[in-house]
Amino acid sequence: MCIALEHLFDYDDFRKFLQDYFEEQKKMRSVFSHRFFAAKAGFSSSSYCLNVIRGRFNLTPKSIEKISKAMEFEPLQRTYFEALVQYNQAQQIDERENAWNQIVQIRKQIEFTHVTTREQGYFEKWYYPIVRELAVSSDWDGDYRVLARSVVPQITTDEARDAVKKLLEWGLLKKEGGRYVETSQMLDASEIPPMALRRIRHEYMQHAMGAVESMPKNERFAAFTTLAMSEKSYNYAVEVLEEARKKIIARAANDSEVERVYEMMLVAFPMSKKIGKEAENEK
């Protein structure tokens, strides 16, 4: 059984799925190659799928049909693959969202997804995580107006009240002796579907821009550095940043004198295409 094909429903990127499928098939069958698959699927170019995997070409409805037949997809697998292609290739946000909704529905049918309503809801509003921390750490004494005014930027009293209500319902807050305390249950955004996080990430980025422009330097930290480096150096940078993030989280978890709620972002991304010999080899 092809492992990649068996785990098709795990994938959020159809190009990654195709790459894993081809690599696995090459290991399993010496005769297998891009040329072999192209002939089986009926593609005129032996490098068509390779160019798709590398992002040079997009899949068309006809090429999706050919690949589906060559891989002998079952009906639900074909529907999922089509939705995955639409999700990855869509130019409009509403098209991506519609495709993702279809992906989620298919995953529910096969009982794959473990994302609960609580997890989806917690990351739906940018201020839910902020209110959770403030409800525990600040002296708002049950006054939702005070709680709302403690959030930056300020939210409404009704939003603060609704946030606490939902956090209680989700089991992320509980009340003990007249005070709110956090439960031991923590949510990790790494398991949340990308589209469910799109809005909150966008809003946090907007807040970050506002903080850089309006807050005094002693109240916020921002560093912008442009670097030219290899993929090896980039991977090292990611390891260092991730290690720093873990250390900061551990320090904050044991901080008994909380004074404010902070949002921390560590971002590194390419601002150019590949250069040098590797780029020449891909032409």
pLDDT tens-digit readout, 143-185: 999 999 999 999 999 999 999 999 998 888 998 888 898 876 5
Residue 76 has pLDDT above 90, yes or no: no
Q: Which of 56-60, 210-214, 242-246 has the lowest mean pLDDT?
A: 242-246
- pTM, whole model, 2 decimals? 0.57
- Here the tokens at position 104 are 């989620």
Q: pLDDT tens digit string along 4-38?
A: 577 788 888 999 999 999 988 888 888 889 899 99
Q: Write the Ramachandran bin of 55: left for phi over 0, alpha for psi from -120 to 50, otherwise beta.
A: left
Tokens of 170: 């989700």
Name the band, by pLDDT with cuts 50, 70 and 90, for residue 59.
Answer: very high
pLDDT at 117: 64
Instruction: Quote the pLDDT of residue 112.
Output: 40
pLDDT over 90, % of the chain: 52
In whole angstroms, give the CA distance from residue 53 to residue 144: 52
In angstroms, rounded to a whole number, what is the distance separating the alpha carbons of residues 243 and 247?
6
**Do residues 114 and 209 touch, judged by C-beta distance below 8 A?**
no
CB environment 78-115: b (16+ within 10 A), e (fewer): bbbbbbbbbbbeeeeeeebeebbebbbebbeeeeebee
**Radius of gyration for the alpha carbons in the chain, expressed in angstroms and rounded:** 24
Reply yes or no on whether the pLDDT at 254 is more than 90: no
Which residues, 6+ apart, have CB-to-CB distance to 147 below 8 Å? 131, 134, 135, 138, 140, 160, 164
pLDDT of residue 4: 58
pLDDT in the model for residue 97 = 87
Q: Around 175, how many Cα atoms within 13 Å sit in the side-chain half-sphere?
A: 8
Mean pLDDT of 51-69: 94
Chain segment 181-233, per-residue pLDDT in tens: 887 655 666 666 666 677 788 899 999 999 999 999 999 999 999 999 999 99
Predicted confidence band at 129 (pLDDT cuts at 50, 70, 90)? very high
Structure tokens at 111: 């009982």
Q: Which two tokens stand for residue 204?
A: 């946090």
C-alpha 219/C-alpha 215 separation (Å) is 6
